[in-house]
Amino acid sequence: MDTKKIQENVKIAYGKVAIREKGCGCGPCQPNVKEFAKSIGYTEEELSIGHEDANLGLSCGNPIVLANLKAGETVLDLGSGAGFDCFIAATKVGNKGKVIGVDITPQMIEKAKDNALNKGTENVEFRLGEIENLPVADNCVDVVISNCVVNLSPDKHRVFKEIFRVLKPGGRIAISDIALLRKLPAKIRQDISAYIGCIAGAVTIDDYEESVKASGLYNVKITSKGLSGCFDFDTNDPLGNVISNNLEVGQSLAEYAISINVEGFKA
């Protein structure tokens, strides 16, 4: 698939997700986004902070828990969506800290800004941009977090190079994402709904680790706990359709894909 075309499709799809239009791939397929967030590791306390309108049910883990944020830190959230993790991070770093969310989809940035305004959160800022070309200065971030986004980038090496550039020396990453356990059937691999749905753009855990290490980050650790994410097997959903139609009878997506947590440090 052509890179530019992929990103255009990603923007269109997530623009629809931002306004809660159904049937857009990795859309708001969970009937109860709060319960879904609990199932992937968010606490009641975090969910009482995480703005209702910011939790679109698009996550695949809890990078906040992994990040172990401290008061006063500067946090950057890659692919911040409607700001779900940013608002939780903002309370952890406090008013001496700062959270920056970057997202490629204008409707997501607009929604996140509205949420910040409605919530009165002042230590969070949302910037329109690509994670492959971060609109962030060099050496100014303590922690990079991200939730179910790097799989959507056609150039993961570039993403981790950019992360390395913006991290302060001693900075760290805490990323939740999707990786592959084995090669997907060709029809799923080539399907744009499966790409938007966080599956077809995913790479193997070994390839993921290689792109993180190639950036210069060290002590890279990748852990996993099965597959969790917004995968709707309703055949009215484009992603559900392509998956059900192209796996063999009795096979499940969990045989191919897995949710991962990624940690690493800049010297």
Ligand X SMILES: C[S@@+](CC[C@H](N)C(=O)[O-])C[C@H]1O[C@@H](n2cnc3c(N)ncnc32)[C@H](O)[C@@H]1O
Rounded-to-integer distance, Cα 22 and Cα 42, Å: 24
131 near ligand X (CB under 6 A)? yes
28 near ligand X (CB under 6 A)? no
Our CB check for ligand X shows the closer of 95 and 109 to be: 109
Q: Which stretch binds ligand X (CB under 6 A): 101-109, 167-175, 205-213, 253-261?
A: 101-109
Smallest distance, Å, CB 248 to ligand X?
27
Smallest distance, Å, CB 148 to ligand X?
4
Our CB check for ligand X shows the closer of 8 and 72 to be: 8
Smallest distance, Å, CB 29 to ligand X?
11
Rounded-to-integer distance, Cα 231 and Cα 29, Å: 7
Tokens linked to 148: 């179910």
Edge-to-edge strand list for the sheet holding 257-265: 124-128, 98-103, 74-78, 141-147, 167-180, 257-265, 218-224
Which 160-189 positions form the footprint of ligand X (CB under 6 A)?
Answer: none
Rounded-to-integer distance, Cα 68 and Cα 98, Å: 15
Among 30, 59, 115, 123, indicate the residue that binds ligand X (CB under 6 A).
59
Rounded-to-integer distance, Cα 85 and Cα 82, Å: 9
Our CB check for ligand X shows the closer of 76 and 167 to be: 76
